[in-house]
Amino acid sequence: MLTVRFWGVRGSIPVPGPNTVIYGGNTSCIEIRADERLIIVDLGSGVHTLGNWLIENELKSKGKIKADILLSHTHWDHVMGFPMFSPIYTPDTELNILGPATLESVDLKSAIENQLSSQYWPVQPDRLAAKIKYQQIKETTVDLGAGLTVSSKFLNHSLPCFGYKITYKGKSAATIFDHEMFLTAEENEKVKKFISGTDILIHDAQYKQEEYAGHIGWGHCTYEQVMEFTAGIDIKTLVFFHHEPSRKDGELEQIEKSYANSTSPKIVVAKEGLVLEA
């Protein structure tokens, strides 16, 4: 069985408060389970809560925490939860972190662990107890064993950024964020091919169409663009994700209601705690 659970659904910055209690205010973090195998997509602020859950449940029941972590990219809202991810402070944790190269010749490991420099954090990287391995990858398919594979696809963002497709026993879930539609039909067709046949597609939908003119080139999509782009593609469930931080619960509820009658694909607005099964 392939299941998806959302721990952080916002873009740009965490927004806790009375206007985000329904859909959540944490930045990107998704838990994917292929039966007992754990995959985490992104280390936004939502990974703090996930980490505490893993300590209280996974560690106590299994005696260890083992996960593959897929990083879309290293913008702060997607990695800022790493220093507060409690499993990195226990020796019973094994993490395999995969992601793209960053800009300015900074490797993936440095981009993540620089957050733990003394200017920003009291615990430096050499004091972490977990066993952490970094794999800097390009567009590829990685065989994680036992029928579980992960494929990566470069997206249109302001620095190298991956979409991922996780496939297990004939089921699949894909993540396409932070992403702005490519200017050429050829590149957009490559993304369509990548996501075709997906059971659960989690797609960037930060803006409404009337907001987009002020954000061209920022690396994000509108709800309307996503609907047009995915029309006719074989997708069972489409999840709107990476919500604009100023988007209040009431607005997201209205968006969800406006797509409630969609059956092909089924439309879901991501919220913290939501669990989907492929």
Question: Going from the N-terminus, what domains does the chain have, and what CATH number goes with each?
Answer: 2-277 (3.60.15.10)
Q: How confident is the model at residue 101 (pLDDT cuts 50, 70, 90)?
A: confident
Of 89, 11, 8, the closest CA to residue 45 belongs to: 8
Give pTM, 2 decimals: 0.97
Per-residue pLDDT at 136 exceeds 90: yes
Cα(40)–Cα(95) distance, integer angstroms: 10
pLDDT of residue 103: 64
Query: From CA 77, how far away is CA 45, in angstroms rounded?
Result: 7
Angle between helices 223-230 and 185-195 (to 10 degrees): 80
| Residue 76: both structure tokens together | 């702060």
pLDDT digits (tens, 9 = 90+) for 102-131: 766 689 999 999 999 999 999 999 999 999
- Decide if pLDDT at 13 tops 90: yes
The token pair that represents 32 in the structure block:
């994917």
- pLDDT, mean over the chain: 96
Where does residue 225 fall: left (phi above 0), alpha (psi -120 to 50 degrees), or beta otherwise?
alpha
Q: How far apart are CA 276 and CA 278, in angstroms?
A: 7
Say how far residue 108 (Cα) sits from the centre of its chain: 17
| Helix residue spans in the chain (DSSP H) | 47-54, 60-62, 76-79, 108-113, 185-195, 209-212, 223-230, 249-258
Cα–Cα distance, 152 to 140 (Å, whole number): 6
Whole-number CA gyration radius for the chain? 18
Asked whether 177 and 242 are in contact (CB, 8 A), the reply is yes
Q: Which of 179, 170, 220, 196 is nearest to 72 (CA)?
A: 179
273 Cβ contact list (under 8 Å, min separation 6):
5, 6, 24
Distance CA 122, CA 237 (A): 42
DSSP SS3 for 208 = coil
**Digit-coded pLDDT (tens) for 72-85:** 999 999 999 999 99
Would the CA dihedral through 200, 51, 122, 110 be positive or negative? negative
Tokens of 97: 């972190």
Confidence of residue 264 (pLDDT cuts 50, 70, 90): confident
> What pLDDT sits at residue 213?
93
Amino acid at 257: K
* CB 43, CB 85: distance < 8 Å: yes
What per-residue confidence (pLDDT) applies to 32?
Answer: 98
Tell me how far apart the alpha carbons of residues 69 and 133 are, in angstroms, rounded to a whole number. 10
Q: Which amino acid is at 183?
A: L
For residue 237 the two structure tokens come to 């469930």
